[in-house]
Structure 1
Amino acid sequence: MLLDHAQGMVFRPPSEANSFILRITLGCSHNACTFCAMYRGIQFRTRPLEKIRCIVENAAQRSPDIRRVFLGDGYALMLPPENCCPS
Protein backbone atom coordinates (compact mmCIF):
# COMPACT_ATOMS: atom_id res chain seq x y z
CA MET A 1 0.00 0.00 0.00
CA LEU A 2 1.36 3.42 -1.02
CA LEU A 3 0.08 6.95 -0.65
CA ASP A 4 -0.82 8.98 -3.73
CA HIS A 5 -0.79 12.44 -2.16
CA ALA A 6 -3.36 13.76 -4.60
CA GLN A 7 -5.78 10.83 -4.47
CA GLY A 8 -5.41 8.76 -1.28
CA MET A 9 -4.22 5.19 -0.76
CA VAL A 10 -2.79 3.09 -3.59
CA PHE A 11 -3.20 -0.65 -3.20
CA ARG A 12 -0.53 -2.77 -4.88
CA PRO A 13 -1.14 -6.50 -5.30
CA PRO A 14 1.93 -8.53 -4.23
CA SER A 15 2.25 -9.95 -7.74
CA GLU A 16 2.71 -6.39 -9.06
CA ALA A 17 5.61 -5.46 -6.78
CA ASN A 18 7.79 -4.43 -9.75
CA SER A 19 5.04 -2.85 -11.84
CA PHE A 20 4.19 0.79 -12.40
CA ILE A 21 0.72 1.40 -10.92
CA LEU A 22 -1.37 3.48 -13.33
CA ARG A 23 -4.62 4.52 -11.71
CA ILE A 24 -7.13 4.76 -14.56
CA THR A 25 -10.02 5.10 -12.14
CA LEU A 26 -10.03 6.27 -8.54
CA GLY A 27 -11.98 4.28 -6.01
CA CYS A 28 -14.47 1.52 -6.78
CA SER A 29 -17.63 1.82 -8.87
CA HIS A 30 -19.54 -0.63 -6.65
CA ASN A 31 -18.04 0.21 -3.25
CA ALA A 32 -20.67 -1.74 -1.32
CA CYS A 33 -19.05 -5.15 -0.70
CA THR A 34 -19.39 -6.11 2.95
CA PHE A 35 -15.95 -7.78 2.96
CA CYS A 36 -14.01 -4.85 1.46
CA ALA A 37 -13.34 -1.39 2.85
CA MET A 38 -10.42 -0.46 0.59
CA TYR A 39 -12.11 2.50 -1.10
CA ARG A 40 -14.78 3.47 1.44
CA GLY A 41 -13.59 7.06 1.78
CA ILE A 42 -13.09 7.68 -1.94
CA GLN A 43 -15.82 8.74 -4.36
CA PHE A 44 -15.51 6.72 -7.58
CA ARG A 45 -14.41 8.66 -10.64
CA THR A 46 -12.49 8.11 -13.82
CA ARG A 47 -9.37 10.01 -14.69
CA PRO A 48 -9.51 12.15 -17.81
CA LEU A 49 -7.49 10.83 -20.74
CA GLU A 50 -5.24 13.91 -20.71
CA LYS A 51 -4.33 13.29 -17.06
CA ILE A 52 -3.54 9.64 -17.84
CA ARG A 53 -1.33 10.71 -20.76
CA CYS A 54 0.50 13.17 -18.51
CA ILE A 55 1.14 10.48 -15.90
CA VAL A 56 2.42 8.03 -18.54
CA GLU A 57 4.72 10.63 -20.15
CA ASN A 58 6.08 11.67 -16.76
CA ALA A 59 6.71 8.05 -15.75
CA ALA A 60 8.45 7.33 -19.06
CA GLN A 61 10.80 10.28 -18.57
CA ARG A 62 11.61 9.46 -14.93
CA SER A 63 11.87 5.68 -15.30
CA PRO A 64 12.52 4.66 -18.91
CA ASP A 65 13.19 1.08 -17.76
CA ILE A 66 9.52 0.42 -16.80
CA ARG A 67 8.46 -2.88 -18.36
CA ARG A 68 5.20 -3.67 -16.55
CA VAL A 69 2.14 -1.51 -15.92
CA PHE A 70 -0.73 -2.43 -13.61
CA LEU A 71 -4.03 -0.61 -14.16
CA GLY A 72 -5.06 0.23 -10.65
CA ASP A 73 -7.99 0.85 -8.39
CA GLY A 74 -11.35 -0.81 -7.95
CA TYR A 75 -12.54 -1.18 -11.53
CA ALA A 76 -9.92 0.07 -13.95
CA LEU A 77 -11.33 -1.79 -16.96
CA MET A 78 -14.78 -0.20 -16.84
CA LEU A 79 -13.85 2.67 -19.16
CA PRO A 80 -15.34 2.37 -22.64
CA PRO A 81 -12.67 1.85 -25.33
CA GLU A 82 -13.39 5.25 -26.93
CA ASN A 83 -12.27 6.94 -23.68
CA CYS A 84 -8.97 5.07 -23.70
CA CYS A 85 -8.08 5.02 -27.37
CA PRO A 86 -9.64 7.95 -29.24
CA SER A 87 -9.35 7.84 -33.00
Structure 2
Amino acid sequence: MIISTRRIKQWLTFLILFVLFTLLLYQVMSFFTDMFEPDSIYKEPIGDAVKVFSDYGRQTSQATFSELVRERLLWFYEIGE
Protein backbone atom coordinates (compact mmCIF):
# COMPACT_ATOMS: atom_id res chain seq x y z
CA MET A 1 0.00 0.00 0.00
CA ILE A 2 1.41 3.34 -1.06
CA ILE A 3 0.79 6.34 1.19
CA SER A 4 0.92 9.61 -0.66
CA THR A 5 2.49 12.57 1.09
CA ARG A 6 0.17 14.87 -0.82
CA ARG A 7 -2.82 13.01 0.64
CA ILE A 8 -1.39 13.24 4.15
CA LYS A 9 -0.78 16.97 3.67
CA GLN A 10 -4.39 17.46 2.55
CA TRP A 11 -5.74 15.60 5.59
CA LEU A 12 -3.50 17.51 8.00
CA THR A 13 -4.52 20.82 6.41
CA PHE A 14 -8.17 19.87 6.72
CA LEU A 15 -7.75 18.76 10.33
CA ILE A 16 -5.89 21.92 11.35
CA LEU A 17 -8.44 24.18 9.63
CA PHE A 18 -11.31 22.25 11.19
CA VAL A 19 -9.87 22.64 14.68
CA LEU A 20 -9.14 26.35 14.16
CA PHE A 21 -12.61 27.13 12.82
CA THR A 22 -14.21 25.11 15.62
CA LEU A 23 -12.28 27.10 18.23
CA LEU A 24 -13.19 30.35 16.47
CA LEU A 25 -16.88 29.41 16.45
CA TYR A 26 -16.67 28.51 20.14
CA GLN A 27 -15.12 31.89 20.98
CA VAL A 28 -17.77 33.78 18.98
CA MET A 29 -20.59 31.86 20.67
CA SER A 30 -19.02 32.43 24.08
CA PHE A 31 -18.76 36.17 23.38
CA PHE A 32 -22.42 36.44 22.39
CA THR A 33 -23.53 34.30 25.33
CA ASP A 34 -21.74 36.61 27.77
CA MET A 35 -23.11 39.68 26.00
CA PHE A 36 -26.77 38.60 26.20
CA GLU A 37 -26.67 37.00 29.66
CA PRO A 38 -28.43 39.03 32.39
CA ASP A 39 -26.22 40.68 34.99
CA SER A 40 -27.57 38.83 37.99
CA ILE A 41 -30.26 36.18 37.75
CA TYR A 42 -30.98 36.38 41.48
CA LYS A 43 -31.52 40.12 41.79
CA GLU A 44 -34.88 41.44 42.99
CA PRO A 45 -37.33 42.17 40.20
CA ILE A 46 -38.20 45.78 39.44
CA GLY A 47 -41.67 47.10 38.67
CA ASP A 48 -45.00 45.28 39.01
CA ALA A 49 -43.52 41.95 40.06
CA VAL A 50 -45.81 39.45 41.77
CA LYS A 51 -44.74 36.89 44.33
CA VAL A 52 -45.28 33.47 42.82
CA PHE A 53 -45.54 31.40 45.98
CA SER A 54 -46.34 32.07 49.59
CA ASP A 55 -45.02 30.59 52.79
CA TYR A 56 -47.73 28.05 53.68
CA GLY A 57 -46.15 27.34 57.04
CA ARG A 58 -46.93 30.81 58.37
CA GLN A 59 -50.56 31.04 57.30
CA THR A 60 -53.11 31.27 60.10
CA SER A 61 -55.99 29.54 58.30
CA GLN A 62 -57.25 26.11 59.35
CA ALA A 63 -56.34 24.51 56.01
CA THR A 64 -53.40 22.13 56.02
CA PHE A 65 -50.58 22.20 53.54
CA SER A 66 -51.90 19.18 51.62
CA GLU A 67 -55.33 20.81 51.25
CA LEU A 68 -53.74 23.99 49.93
CA VAL A 69 -51.64 22.03 47.43
CA ARG A 70 -54.69 20.06 46.29
CA GLU A 71 -56.67 23.30 45.85
CA ARG A 72 -53.86 24.87 43.82
CA LEU A 73 -53.64 21.78 41.61
CA LEU A 74 -57.38 21.86 40.98
CA TRP A 75 -57.14 25.53 39.96
CA PHE A 76 -54.26 24.65 37.65
CA TYR A 77 -56.19 21.84 35.99
CA GLU A 78 -59.34 24.00 35.62
CA ILE A 79 -57.86 27.17 34.17
CA GLY A 80 -54.40 26.01 33.10
CA GLU A 81 -52.46 28.73 34.92
Greater fraction helix: 2
Common fold, TM-score beyond 0.5? no
Q: With the length of structure 2 as denominator, give the TM-score of the two structures.
A: 0.25
TM-score by length of 1: 0.24
More strand by share: 1
Relative contact order, higher structure (CA 8 A, sep 6+): 1
Asked which structure has the greater CA Rg, the reply is 2
